[in-house]
Copies of this chain bind each other. A is one copy, B any other.
Amino acid sequence: VNLVLIEQAELVVEGDVRLGGPRAKHLREVLRVEVGSTVRVGLVDGPIGTARVAAIEGEDVRLVCSLVGAAPERPRIDLLLALPRPKVLRRLWPQLAALGVGKVVLTNASRVERFYFDASVLEPREVRAELLDGLSQARDTRVPLVEVRRAFKPLVEDELEALFGGARRLLCDPGYERSVGAALASPTHRAVLGIGPEGGWTPYERALLERHGFEGVGLGPRTLRSDTATIALLAIAHEALRSAAPAP
């Protein structure tokens, strides 16, 4: 925990907040705060600031927060991700939030098993907890937006513009030669990475995505597990946007 995240609903008058549970425990036992200590805090989807420890009452910690200004910029990469296995997705959530992602659209694909959609790892409360965990690691407050689409074709045919706006569309698959860095070398404001399931997109899915503006990119000849590939692609895309000329 590098940033203690506070929900809007927890803030009472004058930036006063009373924390219990894991965050209070972390403040008391890891950061070893005392009355008068200062800690870095962030308001979920809001600004980052500082808080003074006003009191320690049993297991609870009372903070007086100073949270003004703008929220951090929304990360410039989105994901269109074929729904991974529940175990893999659980591991991915905090890592995606930590690396930085604006929006994650989880979709069906031929090689996605139906039962993945019933997993608890898609329950909003659990998703949010895992995402906040990653944000507090990375000192960010912007919760990635998450949407689930069980039908792939209508999503690609009708919803891309609404979901991803003018973002550059990259289709990631081991079959493509072009590197992510090369594709993002020209100034790009936002990009969405389409990442297939274990076993990859089918030729039909690739063709549909290509017809809807997705440019094929690959990581080279090595076949990676889908979680490793997702982390690798997200990291490379951020690096490419960071190194490229400023967005127009």
Q: Flag the segment in A119-127, A186-194, A204-212, A225-233 that touches B.
A: A225-233
Q: A235–B238 contact, CB under 8 A? A: no
A54 CB-CB contact with B under 8 Å: no
- Known: A138-B223, A139-B222. Contact between A232 and B181, CB under 8 A? no
- Residues 82-122 of chain A, each 1 if its beta carbon lies under 8 Å from chain B, else 0: 00000000000011001110000000000000000000000
* Shortest distance from the beta carbon of A5 to any chain B beta carbon, whole Å: 14
Q: Is the CB of B179 within 8 A of A239?
A: yes
Chain B proximity mask over A160-182: 1 for CB below 8 Å, otherwise 0: 00000000000000000001111
Residue of B nearest to A135 (CB): B222
Answer whether residue A137 sits at the interface, using C-beta atoms and an 8 A cutoff.
yes
B240 touches A181 (CB 8 A): yes
Q: Is the CB of A242 within 8 A of B98?
A: no
Contact string against B for A residues 20-41, beta-carbon threshold 8 Å, 1 for contact and 0 otherwise? 0000000000000000000000
Known: A180-B239, A240-B181. A228 touches B225 (CB 8 A): no
**Set B2, B137, B180, B223: member contacting A139, Cβ < 8 A:** B223
Q: Are B232 and A138 in contact (CB-based, < 8 A)?
A: no
Give the distance in Å from the alpha carbon of A109 to the alpha carbon of B224 in the complex: 30
Is A130 part of the contact surface with B, judged by Cβ < 8 Å? no
Are B231 and A98 touching (Cβ within 8 A)? no
A239→B218 CA distance, assembly (Å): 10
A231-B235, A235-B236 given; A221·B139 CB < 8 A: yes
Q: List 6 A-B contacts (CB under 8 A).
A: A95-B228, A181-B239, A181-B240, A220-B238, A231-B232, A232-B235
